[in-house]
Amino acid sequence: MDYANLFRLDGRRVAVVGGAGGIGREAVRALVAQGADVVVADRDEKGAEETVALSGGGTDRSGTASACALDVLDPDAIRAAADAWGPLDGLVVTVGANVRKRVADYTLDEFDRVIALNLRAYLSLVQTFAPGMAERGRGSVVGFASMRAFQVEPGQSVYAASKAGLVQFLRTAAAEWGPRGVRFNAVAPGVVRTPLTDQIAADPAWYDAYAQASALKRWARADELAGAVAYLVSDASTYVTGSVLTVDGGWTAVDGRFDPAL
């Protein structure tokens, strides 16, 4: 084992789907810094191009980044992208949606939207890219679940269900493709300051309540998730599959509990 280069990704091609901003953008930057050649795929092509500009690729020790417009709800577009990108060593998927409503208030259209982005898109992506990885006997797929896969609160029903489903989907994929060298893992963030959490961040009381619920007493920055991605794509995790890497500041450990004076 070459421990000096354990996390290096030189010569490897990785696609980050959802790389136009937030966690996806920081994942791209981390992977490029480790030498990967990264495809930044997103429906927001302008945002993907901005990520490319911020990635800092092209130096002696870094890889490269290129932008690609992609609608993950269009299976034909995904197949066309696969043909254009060529073989992948890694696939990172950060796309997702959340509609915060009580169960009684949810519409079927909202349900379908959340499930489509948080689950159906993964099915299309894995069906398209995993077989090629299996043919080459190697590959790493990293999906983004959430602490809500394990701990819920009012208003998170469909989101939580979709993330719990994603964990089990990735575990099943790990079982099916593991014998052929393809690994599947999930990252489960806690509360992260991204556009997806704008609704919470705009409410000072809500924002502070979430900050106080973790062991670290603060929200995560998007860049604090990038290390988990780099680890799961790299050779540092070659015996890790079917796992969930929780990066939640200790939220699920302390369960947001009141700390009484004893």
Contact 166, 118 (CB under 8 A): yes
Residue 203 lies in a domain: yes
Residue 254 lies in a domain: no
Q: How many domains does the chain have?
A: 1
Residue 257 lies in a domain: no
What's the whole-model pTM score? 0.95
> In this structure, what DSSP letter does residue 109 have?
H
Residue 55 lies in a domain: yes
The per-residue pLDDT for range 17-33, each reduced to its tens digit, is 999 999 999 999 999 99
Q: Is the pLDDT of residue 54 over 90?
A: yes
The per-residue pLDDT for range 166-208, each reduced to its tens digit, is 999 999 999 999 999 999 999 999 999 988 788 888 999 999 9
Residue 159 a catalytic site member? yes
Burial code of 244-262, b = ≥16 C-beta within 10 A, e = fewer?
Answer: bbbbbbebbeeeeeeeeee
Q: One of 122, 159, 210, 231 is an active-site residue; which one?
A: 159
Q: What is the CATH number of the domain that holds 202?
A: 3.40.50.720
pLDDT band at 58 (very low <50, low <70, confident <90, very high): low
Residue 261 lies in a domain: no
**E-strand spans in the chain?**
13-17, 37-42, 64-69, 90-93, 139-144, 182-189, 244-247
Nearest alpha carbon to residue 143 among 192, 96, 100:
96
> In this structure, what DSSP letter does residue 89 have?
S
3-state SS assignment for residue 90: strand
Note down the domain range covering 90: 3-248
The per-residue pLDDT for range 105-118, each reduced to its tens digit, is 999 999 999 999 99
